[in-house]
Structure 1
Amino acid sequence: MRIRSIIGAAAVAIATATPAAAHGVGEKATPHFEQAIPNIPGKSLIAVVVDYAPGGASPPHIHAKSAFIFGYVLSGEIESQVNDGPKRVFRAGESFYETPGSRHPVSRNASRAKPAKLLAVFVVDSDDKELTTPVK
């Protein structure tokens, strides 16, 4: 696995060089797929599964300026806020998206009793190295 795909996997949380490592409190991002898009030169598709323990959360972060992100809740309920939009709870089977350069101040399990799981799919410039940066 290339180091960029490992860093890309952390794009939902905080960039790290270790796959499946915890990033926030009760949150783990695991890489599942990375592939250059052959008919869109310079673009890649990266898929990451984010597991949230009950009450788990990702730290506030921003995404790469090129990253278009599709989020799909696999199980449980995820509370999310993108940029200055409203906080919203998404349930299993629901989805949302983030436009390039978005700020993600809230991404967390909406439940303190049950785990939640999110699939994040990124379309990003293939040479982007820092896909997620923590908000200071």
Structure 2
Amino acid sequence: MSDAWKTALTVLQEAEPDIPPGAHVMTVVIEFPPGDPGTPPHRHPGPAFGYVIEGEMLFELEGQPPRVIRAGEAFWEPGGDVIHYSDGNNRADIPSKFTVTMMCVPGRPMLELVEPQELEQRRDRRWQAPA
């Protein structure tokens, strides 16, 4: 019997999320064509965990600098009140594909778009590059 299973596991990320009571879990696959800006600013009621399968994603959460997540890399967001500004395809020449597992709150959609007036009110919470 092989002992390969002992080294088969690779931890991609660890987190200590706040999971809403009564939450259910949903896993989805998102595919964006080359250069697609992705979902408009939004939030998820519960935490979300993802993994980029193909291409690159430009990922930005409220209060954090934008960063590029490439195929084979994982990401997560706490959900709740945090705005997710960007999940678009970072490349204009290839598609992007990623999977997301979300802890969904009963009675609420898994994704809620943020209205422009709220974005303006919270402008000071978005990360700004040093001058």
TM-score range (shorter-chain normalised) is: 0.5 to 0.7
CA RMSD in angstroms comes to: 1.8
TM-score when normalising by structure 1: 0.64
Partner in structure 2 of residue 88 of structure 1: 67
Task: Name the structure 2 match of 1:120.
Answer: 100
Q: Which has the higher contact order (CA 8 A, sep 6+)?
A: 2
Contact 2:43 2:114 in 1 (8 A): no
More strand by share: 1
- The residue identity in structure 1 corresponding to 2:96 is A
Identity over aligned pairs, percent? 29
Q: Is the 8 A contact 2:51 2:99 kept in 1?
A: yes
The answer on 1:72 being equivalent to 2:56 is no
- Please identify the structure whose Cα radius of gyration is greater: 2
Unmatched runs of 5 consecutive residues or more in structure 1? 1-39
Per the alignment, residue 45 of structure 1 pairs with 25
Counterpart of 1:55 in structure 2: which amino acid?
Answer: G
Q: Does the Cα contact within 8 Å between 1:58 and 1:108 map onto a contact in 2?
A: yes
Q: Which amino acid aligns with 1:80?
A: F
* 1:100 equivalent in alignment to 2:99: no
Unaligned runs of 5+ in 2: 1-19, 116-131
